[in-house]
Amino acid sequence: MCQVDEDYHDQLEHVDVPSVSKKCVKCKEGTAAVVIRAGDTYCRGCFREYFIHKFRAMLGKNRVIYPGEKVLLAVSGGPSSCSMLSQVQEGLSQNAHKKLRFLPGIVYIDEGGAVGQSMEERQRTVAELQAVFKATGFPFHIVPLEQVLNLPSSVVVTAPSPSERPASAYKAAVDHFIQSDSRSCLAQQEQEETSVPVVQESHTHSLQQLIGSAKTLTASEDLLNTLRQHVLVHTARTEGYSKLMLGDNCTRLAVKLLTSISLGRGAQLAQDTGFSDSRYGDIILVRPMRDYSAKEIAYYNRMFNVLSVFIPSLDTKTADKASIQRLTESFVTKLQADFPSTVSTIYRTSEKLQTACKSSTADHCDRCLLCMCTLDTAAENASAFKATLISEQLSQTKSPGATTAEIQRQNQALVEPKSTAATGQCCSSGGREDCGKEGGGCCSSARVPETSHLKSLLCYSCQLTIKDMSSVECLPQYILSEAQRRHRRSQMREEINEFLLGDHDDGDQGD
């Protein structure tokens, strides 16, 4: 048995805690100014070189952005996106060692109407960001989130992606960019005076009604994120940009990975957290800040005076259990404080993920209407997803006095649902001549699709979001119009299905 007075206390190993009084681990000369991780102490100059090199190495390693391409930087005003803007500005400066070769632009989505900010507060925030954007010299676009109410249906349709370039095409593009007058290319990016769009109060009220239709904060945040992404993609398309650069850092992606799993987005993890995301076809989403932790970004912004603007969001000043996103963030950050390798371990796991989705050339009807990822609901009848769906529907439709035979018929109907188009029936009792008049019939294009029809066009996670909404009528018109168009197309396909040739029938005609 151990004795208290035994003399073994002096032999215990003493762990040296990193201190800023130590020397820099890189140059071995300067006094450390920042401690990133245990044993990683950097002086001011080496930390700046380390930070800049990591950004350019991420872009150079993936080679997704070609020289001369127009890249739109999505800046939210937070530390991560403002640091990304600073790195791009540094990479395009005259004294840069390895200059960046793309043509940048800036976009800011004003979400003040969704979070309940007054017009004076929104104007004050926009004025602060305008000062930051004008200092860069890049063209910038300030877009209110209310614009989502007037988007075209093409936003939720995958556009044809450019043909895949060979590996040698990148080197050829670099040589062509160097031989051409790169200064003239940058001169075309002269900053233009962009006026802030006037936001109508009725549009702000409609947006607040849309966000407020979600019963939970989890659904509200997920819906807001989807709408923001639609506006970003639409802005990139209309302004002629082929790449959209996001400011998601390593800490944010670690939280997003666990949140996505909790929300049923396991099939879309590779696209939601990877470096590049090609779900929209012609617009590629890239995340060059995914190797930086929030701690590194905070240190860099503090030491080198990178300005950022605090903008409240839906979960500002909320409790840890207010939403799944907020709870996951609190869990990861608190665990990271005691175990410094938590975020990096989760992040390295996300790097190993690969999508099993179809290519961007797949039919857009096979993609989710909201997040534009490949549908993960095409499962077999014996799958766990079908079992969950049947249990959910039976709990709502089963009558107390139903017999076993009736339950079996309900079960079969849920597994193999029949559309109204297959039966040939119309909502008009007098025939099809009155159907569709005044937007009241099943043949009316303006009619809001039923929730069941809308859910069939969504992935599992987006179905949960729609389920938490009080009414789908609050959704923007471009989503409802595309849902109605896809539903009519599906009905038409069922009507002529027996006349269509399958893929396996093509080679049997000549036998």
DSSP state of 103: E
Distance CA 283, CA 286 (A): 10
Tokens of 264: 């049923």
Classify residue 452 as exposed, middle or buried by CB count within 10 Å of its CB (0-12, 13-18, 19+).
exposed
Question: What does the pLDDT read at residue 397?
Answer: 64
Question: What does the pLDDT read at residue 429?
Answer: 45
Q: Do 224 and 111 contact (CB within 8 A), yes or no?
A: yes
Q: Do 37 and 269 contact (CB within 8 A), yes or no?
A: no
Question: What does the pLDDT read at residue 262?
Answer: 93
Closest C-alpha to 254, from 327, 190, 333? 333
Mean pLDDT by 10 residues, the chain (511 residues): 53 53 84 83 92 91 89 95 95 80 94 91 93 93 94 88 67 66 53 69 93 94 95 95 95 95 90 91 93 94 93 92 95 92 88 62 70 82 74 69 58 48 45 46 50 83 92 91 89 81 54 46
Question: What does the pLDDT read at residue 399?
Answer: 56
Distance CA 344, CA 271 (A): 19
Distance CA 331, CA 354 (A): 26
Query: Which helix (DSSP H) or strand (DSSP E) does residue 143 occupy?
Result: strand 140-144
Q: In whole angstroms, how large is the CA radius of gyration of the chain? A: 27
Distance CA 232, CA 237 (A): 9
Domain boundaries, the chain: 68-158+194-290+311-363
Question: What does the pLDDT read at residue 471?
Answer: 87
Distance CA 272, CA 257 (A): 8
68-158+194-290+311-363 placed in CATH 3.90.1150.30: no
Q: Do 237 and 321 contact (CB within 8 A), yes or no?
A: no
**pTM score:** 0.81
Question: What does the pLDDT read at residue 121?
Answer: 93
